[in-house]
Structure 1
Amino acid sequence: MAGAPWSAGTSPCDGDTSTWAGVLCSKGNVLGLQLEKMGLSGKLDLAPLKSLTGLRTLSFMDNEFAGAMPDVKDLGGLRAIFLSGNKLSGEIPADAFAGMGWLKKVYLSRNSFTGAIPTSLAAVPRLLDLQLNDNKFTGKIPDFPQKDLKMLDVSNNELEGEIPASLKSIEPQMFEGNKKLCGAPVEAKCEPPTTAVSPPTTSPTTTSGKVGTSPSPPAATADATTTTTGTVPAEEGTQGATKPTKGSTSFGVLAAFLGTLAIIGFAVVALQRRREYNTQNFGPTASTKPSLPSAPQSPAKAAHVAAATVTGGRSSSVSGSTAARSSKAGEQGRLTFVRDDRGRFFELQDLLKATAEVLGGGASLGVCYRATLTGGHSVVVKRFKEMNRVGKEDFEEHMRRLGRLSHPNLLPLVSYYYRKEEKLLIHDYVPNKSLAHLLHGEGRAIKKAVVHWTTRLKLVKGVARALQYLYDELPMLTVPHGHLKSSNILLNDRFEPLLTDYSLVPVMNQSHSAQLMVAFKSPERKQFGRSSKKSDVWCLGILILEILTGRPPSYEAAKQSSDQPPSPPQSENDLAGLVASTPEGEWLEKVVDADLKKEDEEGKEEMVKLIKIGMACCEAAVDSRWELKTAVERIEELKGKEDANDEYSYYSSIDGDDFANVAIN
């Protein structure tokens, strides 16, 4: 192996050349560790490596390491983890890989791992190669939705149940040695379920503290109650890291790591951070009776009660045959799917038996749950009670209209459920967070991501295109979106925007809409009591300023019209007022997010142009406010760096925060 032994007083890297054995270097930064077939033993503690922001790959293959799975999720910049051929054992926590948004290769084969395959692997957006063969994993294979997943090897384990449809293209030999697996691509046929009775609440899926059994918990947006933290990686090779010299941080970190291994003989057990999450069966439990709670309900209990409400207030599960004999139960128990490109891959009873997690609440339009179905696929169920202004026929017609919408920057509606008292809207679960979380983090103690100009411009362009699409497809609506804000913009696996909670004004109660929907905070609504075709444009303007300033907006303060002298902002979050009261020549210094001040001059010129577009969209006077078409055309003219299509240009390090799970609020 190239390189000299690790020794004090020397640097591990000299440009692209490694001076220490097993260290991979790039431009003076430590890129990876490759300590293979060296007879190393003991337990792995990776905590000393957390300061290496440029670390991209770790390989300890074919050694004698024992003990639990090391805590890798704090090394959020990793692209590859190779731990095959050791003596690692025990259950892997379900959230072991949460927040690892850049991870592509995971090799855990030829160990002695037990328990369920950690479901957080299914939420790793860039996963290409997963090797779990020759272990003792049990339970079902999670649904892996990653389109780029090329290799998955789970052979020679103790897995059971139906292989998810998302893995039907995987070679059959990748599933060999699991006698109880069935379905495509193996030849064994799956036995049909014998009963539709919900599992008891004491099943493993309801105990969030047990490792390997509950789904990887999503981090919530600014309106939600739980978070998952990790690290967003630096740009490949160099971004976020400084060039080490003698006595540098890289040397100190690696020396500490080596010292840990040598002095205590790998005796430090990897830290396994656990959090409690609100998880419970989405449906009512068998043989229980409803009772009024004597104390405020927990979010998990709320999910339980919500599901009981969907079934008409009944507290016990009903078998499929019994439900079929009741026409009323049959009417209440059927979902309506609205997309031609999607089949009926679950029913209401599947939701009632699913594990549920409360994702958001507060000032959102409805209570939101993540339901993890039996096969591992997750959907988001949003429960509305403020949709009683329209009858069933009009409601269903509008849902069919939404089901026909198709745009790369819209989160599509999958299905819905109608009852007079409440409605459910069901979408796919998106394993990333919202734009609000990206821009603002989650609380004062947690730093936000560093988002570059080119990425912010791409986000603005994606939102503008989706909004224009809604205007084109739904010209009959005065306000085609109605609730455009950063917490309602999710990010897909390429960190492109997905608009949610759109086009619901026609089916919402007016009083509820006026209280919560941001389009109803527009100046014309406040002045004249009615919205206009430009209300969404006002929301777009506020969003543009939020993206550029990095500050959360206040929708209670509106900018004065251009014929009035600018006044000081009414609050620090009155973004339009802040810009209006600041001379244009000082925008880059006093208005623009500090993270953007290091951009080149060309980028700064484009930022000023976008601020002007945002202000033109925020005009309090409707007649002076730009038309959406004009705003979109001007936004499309703006330019970012040509090389920004590379995935590593999206984010630099954010010092310990993850960005891989999304919660809808």
Structure 2
Amino acid sequence: MLPFFALFFFLLCCNSLAPVVYSLNAEGSVLLTLKQTLTDPQGSMSNWNSFDENPCSWNGITCKDQTVVSISIPKRKLYGSLPSSLGSLSQLRHINFRNNKLFGNLPPRLFQAQGLQSMVLYGNSLSGSVPTEIQNLRYLQALDLSQNFFNGSLPAGIVQCKRLKTLILSQNNFTGPLPDGFGTGLSSLERLDLSYNHFNGSIPSDLGNLSSLQGTVDLSNNYFSGSIPASLGNLPEKVYIDLTYNNLNGPIPQNGALMNRGPTAFIGNPGLCGPPLKNSCASDTSSANSPSSFPFIPDNYSPQGTGNGSMGSEKNKGLSKGAVVGIVVGDIIGICLLGLLFSFCYSRVCGFNQDLDENDVSKGKKGRKECFCFRKDDSEVLSDNNVEQYDLVPLDSHVNFDLDELLKASAFVLGKSGIGIMYKVVLEDGLALAVRRLGEGGSQRFKEFQTEVEAIGKLRHPNIATLRAYYWSVDEKLLIYDYVPNGSLATAIHGKAGLDTFVPLSWSYRLKIMKGTAKGLLYLHEFSPKKYVHGDLKPSNILLGQNMEPHISDFGVGRLANIAGGSPTLQSNRVAAEKLQGRQKSLSNEVTSNVLGNGYMAPEAMKVVKPSQKWDVYSYGVILLEIITGRSSIVLVGNSEMDLVQWIQLCIEEKKPLLEVLDPYLGEDADREEEIIGVLKIAMACVHSSPEKRPTMRHVLDALDKLTISSD
């Protein structure tokens, strides 16, 4: 019996020491089905296993209250199809499988997850039509199916997704017309891209109802036909409407958002006519006779006098000679009377105030009458030199702080330049701002300053630093921006003196910065109210946000500094460039630091006073070269200096291998060689010595978008 009790005791002890084994919940089992369906060469799902109680700790999975709400596994070369069982995740809100190698159809059961808010699947090989069950996704806000092989028409039920803000379907094989009620049903849309498909039929007139749209509405490279609806002019004026390469015809409406657009928005439609295209409409008469061209005409009007009007046909043929003479004489008499009235007002009324003697003036007395005929408003009577502005002026409705809060806040110097000192200011509530102080004294052209600063304050783009408010006084001028936390691109590439730690940028981040900067410049060049030129683009004024997204800063600051009494930035840059040019010719042995930031100016800037958009393109090209090589815009070669563009050209001539040109920190990204070479080609096109041969920023951005891996 003793051996039996010993064995029983041993088994009892082992059982008490054994760990508790949990079984994986139902959601985890669904996700394991996904793992079994896909090939995962990079091991992104390596910690997905059945021994866990739930999947909330797994890579790419986000939970709320122990329930799966997000699956995000982008850019991991996942290969396979999506299982329909994913639709059983009842609380699923976000799906992101962008830039993988998924194929097959979208399973209709996937749309049983009716709480989905975003579905991002671009950059795969998915095909088939979009299931009609998409109409169940009443909370859907973002749908990006671009760069796949989807076909068929867009399901009519998509207009039931009334919360949809982003719809990107570009580079697929969609066909057919857009669903009825597209513009009415999707009134929350902020971004719309249908380019590079086979959509046909007419452009729905209710697209003009999409009042929340931003950026570019891209309908290009499709088969849309018929005329351009005039209602598209109702879209926000800052929206760029790209209708290129369709089958549209007829005159281009000249209203609202369709006005003042260059021909690039309409090319590739041989049937279109009228401005801004050079080909005029075939018959002015026919266009003039269209119903929309006529003003309102009362029913009882008869051009031949045969209607209900009292005048006969002979009298309606034109005015008699005597009537014309009478009208002319009447006009002359009227002008003379107005002149006499003006003289009377000035001499009898306005002139009265000039009779005051100096004693009256010194005592503060005023005339008994005022010049009421043509007097100006009191605010206009003040000259610019007398204007004082002693309060903070907000430039949008989101500014909820005042001058007192700003002056009491903690301030830290971020940097100094020829156009003032930049501070980081932290308010009591924790809000961080960037404040540029333009300096004291100087020219007091307040109205000119006000006009410029308010125009800059209207610019709104994710890749442009946002000017929130300003302050003007005789002794102080301040510009208040959103604070951008991750420093400048210059520091991100080269590090900062005195800092021991330096985390180099990966190629993916560099590509993201390139594209974001290109988008910001494109906005300034084409979508801003005056089609601006930055004129001083360089890495030190490209700031990096929380997620390393770029924000172009210092736009218009040189101009404001000039008005406020500072030194002209453009002129100082030109002088520095002249010094640099002379130094290169003499092959001086010295390295002068004060010219290192001026290798971004286009060659023609030495001769032409007025900046052009092609200046910005050149500067952008130099920045691309700097991002690729990790070198500054001025390169020390032996005992001499040359600008980065010349150095790259020399490397190309000498056929140096890419690794000798590449930033050493990009060694781990050597497998991205095709992309790097692609960017290098774009950069060399941007820095072409002839401005006419440089691409526009739109073409630059299109070229970057064609690179295989997106940085967005």
Do both proteins adopt the same fold according to a TM-score greater than 0.5, normalized to the shorter chain? no
Q: Higher Cα Rg: structure 1 or 2? A: 2
* Greater helix proportion: 2
TM-score tier (shorter) = 0.3 to 0.5
Please give the TM-score of this superposition, normalised by the length of structure 2: 0.39
